[in-house]
Amino acid sequence: MADLPKYQEDLTLDTFVRGLWKENPVFVMLLGMCPVLAVTNSAINAISMGLASTVVLVGSGALISLMRHWIPKQVRIASYIVIIATFVTMVDYAIQAISLDLYAALGAFIQLIVVNCIILGRAEAYASQQRLVPTLVNSLGVGAGFTIALFALGSVREILGSGTLFGIHLFGAGFQPWVVMVLPPGGFFVLGAWLLLFNWIKLRRERRIETPQGIPANAR
């Protein structure tokens, strides 16, 4: 029914690794900013959110990939949203079963995974065209990239904003927490700092490739 897949990707290491670095959903594509800024006030919240999103990403990707020949183009978005919402609801119940405190801390952002554009984006751009195994591997890669990015924000914000990591105190009693870091502005500060770092690394690498051998960049 649907158009035949235009291009089938072979399973390579890149299928997984791409999501971690080159196509990192947060630091490169700037997708899913709502949970990135909202629930990264502690490391455990960040990791839980990342894992929950990964489960939804993998589950919905698998189902969409399996059904890709039976989903007509006209109803594909409706189909994807129903499939994604199903997995989000299941994750929602699972988190309540694991810990009610965690559930309270993540609040509405678990349900909001439904509208996370990373997941719908993967469904549309990848799962709907690729075979099951590459889809699983790619979704895991993107999920891991998302989780790592959330942890990068969550750990820095928790260390600076509360003086703890995973609830363990890192500094003596003399440490005055930077409360702003666990407040919404802190999310923007830390995200900005990480983006600065990643762009700097990327630019430096590009410049090194452009520079002809033997001539330093500043002598051109």
**185 makes contact with another protein (CB under 8 A):** no
3-state SS class at 144: helix
Residue of 30, 99, 169, 200 that binds another protein (CB under 8 A): 99
What token pair was written down for 76? Answer: 């594909």
Least spacing, CB of residue 186 vs another protein, in Å: 10
**78 makes contact with another protein (CB under 8 A):** yes
> Would you say 101 or 210 has its CB closer to another protein?
101
**97 makes contact with another protein (CB under 8 A):** yes
Residue of 30, 77, 90, 170 that binds another protein (CB under 8 A): 90
128 within 8 A of 60, measured Cβ to Cβ: no
Residue of 15, 24, 40, 41 that binds another protein (CB under 8 A): 41
For residue 169, which phi and psi values (nearest 5 degrees)?
-70, 130
| Binding letters toward another protein, positions 47-76, x by CB under 8 A | ----------------x---x--xxxxxx-
3-state SS class at 191: helix
What token pair was written down for 186? Answer: 């802190």
Helix locations, the chain, DSSP H: 13-20, 33-38, 43-66, 76-98, 100-106, 117-122, 132-162, 184-210
H/E stretch holding 27 reads: none
Residues lying near another protein in the complex (CB under 8 A) are found at: 1, 6-7, 41, 63, 67, 70-75, 78-79, 82-83, 85-87, 89-90, 93-94, 96-97, 99-101, 104, 125, 129, 161-162, 177, 179, 182-183
